[in-house]
Structure 1
Amino acid sequence: MSEQTASAPASAPAPAAPPPRRVLRAVARWALAGAVFAGLGTGVAYGLSGMERTDLPGLSTRGDGRWDYPELSLPALPVGTPRPFNPENAGEIHHADLRALLLRAPAGATPDKKLTGGWVSTERYLSEYTAEQRGDLTTLLDDYAVRHIAARGWTMPDGTVSRVYLLRFPSSGLAAGFKLGAVLGSGVGETVAAAPGAEPDAAWPDSPPGSEMFVSTDVYAEPEPYGPTQARHAYVGAGDTIGLIVHEKKGGTPAVPFHQTVVLQGQLLG
């Protein structure tokens, strides 16, 4: 680097205007996303090897409150495309139709006429949050370029209302950046409108049976005292896709079928 000259110019140039706050926020989020992406390959390592069939959610006896879900099956991939965690798939992209990766409703469920397993708008997804949360979440969805949102909902005979959303981003790094900004960073999306006082679910095990490798979960429950209904919700992250699962029931939401739903949706994504 050359030395500074002794004589100063007659008039110094005007300082450059600071970048807009939106740009600063985006730069910070990209930096955080990069940090997440660097460690994303390790995932959350829950193995399936050596497990008994009765340990898998949906395959045990029905006396413990689990729902009777249809047998899981992965959708066919376009010819020549790898699975999301294949070494040849650097972006960890789910090439299958996002709608085909949604968990199907269990036996006895009444389908939601508006959340039928098809595409939904960003506004419909944002309706799960309070009005105060939606502005920041809209910015995050825009910054990380969400591509598609699919959703399915149903109501069980005991009154439990279930809603599952899948959000697809252009890459695993952008999906991780959204999750970090919405849940782990600012926390603007850590709660949902149905459970404004939600806390991390203490009943969620550190190593849930049946959980897939490379699938991360953040699970929340509304503690007592709650209002007329209690809600539980969870974020499931896998590659380029983030899932939001919400269960809500008057008088209290059972933990067992909720945890079962989270694990099974993770299996479909992992």
Structure 2
Amino acid sequence: MTEQLVEEKPEPQAEPAAPAPALAVPGRGRRVLWAVARWTAAVVVCGGVGAGTAIGITALDRTDVPGLATESDGRWEYPQLKLPALPADRPRPFTEANDGEIHYADVRQLLLPAPAGATVDPKLDGGWVTEDRYLSGYGKEDRTRVKEALRDTALRHITARGWTTPDGTTTRVHLLRFASVAFADQFRTDALKAGEVDEALPAGVAEGAIMEGAAGDVRVPDVSVYAYQEKKPYGPEQTRWAYVHAGDTLALITQTRKGEALTVPFQQTVALQAQLLG
């Protein structure tokens, strides 16, 4: 079963916008999303920027997103995804009319929704969150450095959503929107040091490793993803996390589960969030 990613079109202010049946991307040909039977949610592909791991969705059309659960592969059932309407005369990022790769839509509407059956964290319900709330997701030894970097990179907003699924996985998704793509990239490389020895690690994680070896044929054009997992030996639970860099916006996705974090829903969640930002 496949999901439809549709785009809301702005209407006159007197009436709400009606979602278009398919996502139209200016300046790009229509593309058909590969959703073959062997599709394994959203799979990590080596070869991202620096030491990162690229992952995404091969979308020729951006209308069908393989996000619904199946009985065999462990995917979660997400609601239908749609892109929010844009302000008048504002283009989507990664189009010829948007050289700055700016997300003009309300970034809160670009957050991935919780899947079916999940319990949403009331403190991370899709609204704005403070810097301190975001920083609490890092180990204490990294928070000062990350906080200083946020102040130096023209951060505009942080929004977040969190949930826990019946399988015991706790998911947190933060979206950080900066004043420009350059500031977003600076924060990722200088503060987070993603993929480096001294990278900022999630709270409770002593050492991380780049996720490799999960081959796949899915990508999101113009979006870079860096995926990691907590290195063994770890405690009673394992954490996996990923950064999604899309123009002026950076997403941090973390999943923690007792015993071992599950690969398929992690890859699926990261890929769907990347699709919303791409």
Larger radius of gyration: 1
C-alpha distance 187-102 of structure 1, shift in aligned 2 (>3 A): farther
- Aligned residue for 1:168, secondary structure, equals strand
2:185 to 176, 179, 185: 176
- Check whether the contact 1:195–1:232 (CA below 8 A) recurs between aligned residues: no
TM-score for the superposition, normalised by structure 1: 0.77
Please tell me whether residue 196 in structure 1 is matched to residue 200 in structure 2: no
Structure 1 CA distance for aligned equivalents of residues 193 and 86 of structure 2: 30
Match for 2:259: what amino acid?
A: G
- Aligned residue for 1:118, secondary structure, equals strand
C-alpha distance 160-120 of structure 1, shift in aligned 2 (>3 A): same
- Check whether the contact 2:68–2:75 (CA below 8 A) recurs between aligned residues: no
- Aligned residue for 2:227, secondary structure, equals strand
The CA RMSD over aligned residues, in Å, is 2.3
Shift of 1:196: 2.4
Task: Give me the identity figure in percent.
Answer: 49
- Aligned residue for 2:242, secondary structure, equals strand
Structure 1 CA distance for aligned equivalents of residues 270 and 137 of structure 2: 17
Correspondences of 1:91-240 after superposition (within 5 Å): 91-181=100-190, 182-184=192-194, 188-205=198-215, 208-209=217-218, 211-240=219-248
- Check whether the contact 1:230–1:249 (CA below 8 A) recurs between aligned residues: yes
- Check whether the contact 2:55–2:224 (CA below 8 A) recurs between aligned residues: yes
What does residue 86 of structure 2 align with? 77
Q: Deviations over 1:179-236 (max 9, x none)?
A: 111224876544211322111012444x552x31011000001122210110000000
What does residue 27 of structure 1 align with? none
Match for 2:212: what amino acid?
A: A
C-alpha distance 262-185 of structure 1, shift in aligned 2 (>3 A): closer
What does residue 245 of structure 1 align with? 253
- Check whether the contact 1:204–1:259 (CA below 8 A) recurs between aligned residues: no
- Check whether the contact 2:57–2:275 (CA below 8 A) recurs between aligned residues: no
What does residue 264 of structure 1 align with? 272
TM-score for the superposition, normalised by structure 2: 0.75
Q: In the comparison of the two structures, how many residue pairs are matched?
A: 224
Answer 1 or 2: which has greater helix percent. Answer: 1
- Check whether the contact 1:84–1:92 (CA below 8 A) recurs between aligned residues: yes
Answer 1 or 2: which has greater strand percent. Answer: 2
Structure 2 CA distance for aligned equivalents of residues 255 and 173 of structure 1: 31
1:58 to 62, 67, 88: 67
C-alpha distance 244-122 of structure 1, shift in aligned 2 (>3 A): same
- Aligned residue for 1:164, secondary structure, equals strand
Task: Give 5+ residue unaligned stretches, structure 2.
Answer: 1-53
1:48 to 59, 64, 73: 59
What does residue 44 of structure 2 align with? none
- Check whether the contact 1:117–1:152 (CA below 8 A) recurs between aligned residues: yes
Structure 2 CA distance for aligned equivalents of residues 225 and 208 of structure 1: 31
